[in-house]
Amino acid sequence: MRIGPYELPNQLFVAPMAGVTDRPFRRLCKQLGAGYAVSEMVTSRPDLWNSLKTSRRANHEGEPGPIAVQIAGTDARMMADAAAYNIDRGAQIIDINMGCPAKKVCNKWAGSALMQDETLALSIVEAVVQTCAVRNVPVTLKMRTGWSAHHRNAVALARAFEGAGVQMLAVHGRTREQGYQGSAEYETIAAVKSQVRIPVVANGDITSPQKAAEVFKCTGADAVMIGRAAQGRPWIFREIAHFLATGSLLAPPLVSEVRRWLVEHLHDHYALYGEYIGVRSARKHISWVTRSRPGAAHFRQHMNSLDQSVAQIAAVEGYLDELNETMDRIPVCDGEAVSMTRGQDMVEVAV
């Protein structure tokens, strides 16, 4: 799997998610088996580039490459300038956002709203590709199947984007109209794959190793992109990699492993955001990891009342140490937690 000059270690990607896939989370997912991760989207508005939020998103210190940054906007010149801005700050791949369904993005005709205006969408792609080509930086793009059930134009746009120089396409198997409701469909992704020569990445509802294998088979995609399923379960990438290689399910991680990963992630998180914002923004990551576990509701209530990083880490360590007294591993079945008591060894299960 290659994107321009970059050879990737595998075909398992972390989807860009605003407020989630920051540098610490991308680094954690890569540590646990992801071969590629795209940043949260960075605005193309130059008046916001000096904001604290954008400066954090443009900070790639210590991040393993290739560094991919997603940009969002509606003006071709501003998008090209945003690409150059991020390249100057370490971006090695530029990704164009035409997939975000959020109202605050689409109401400004950015994200997946651009799929309604094919002429504007293509002009943005051409401007960004032209700017990046001079710097030998590949351009990729993430989109949906279309704006609505009656306006699925992903195939036509994919051909146009390939012709304009895009080197990889990621397709979420829903329309903008669907948001994240209903089920992702993969027929459109398969149709896109059949019509272009560049790599195509399948995204949407990939929540288990078995589902990943199924999506590879039914779409012919070159890679799969996992988003929400990695929230609280970043080790899903190593689980999928193991299943694709062996046909067997990897044993769930030890509670002690999860404790170590989470604490390391929290320290990385605080280092980026600082004490005040770091403690508060870390709460969602802690809640995702501990959801559906014994005593999780009481723990989260206590954890959300803490406002110091030292206390937050102590609470996490204490909770997971108590959990480790009753169970060896943190098992997951098709994206849902299941109970397991200490002494029940989880072995690889042939499928």
Residues 100 and 132 sit within 8 Å (Cβ to Cβ):
no
| DSSP for 241-295, written as a single string | HHHHHHSEEPPPPBHHHHHHHHHHHHHHHHHHH-HHHHHHHHHHHHHHHHTTSTT
The DSSP letter of residue 229 is G
CA separation for the pair 176, 17 (Å, rounded): 16
- The beta-strand segments (E) located in the chain are 2-3, 6-7, 12-14, 36-43, 68-72, 93-98, 139-144, 168-172, 200-203, 223-226, 248-249, 332-333, 336-337, 349-350
* Phi-psi group of 333: left, alpha or beta (phi > 0 → left; psi -120 to 50 → alpha; rest → beta): beta
Write out the catalytic residue numbers.
100
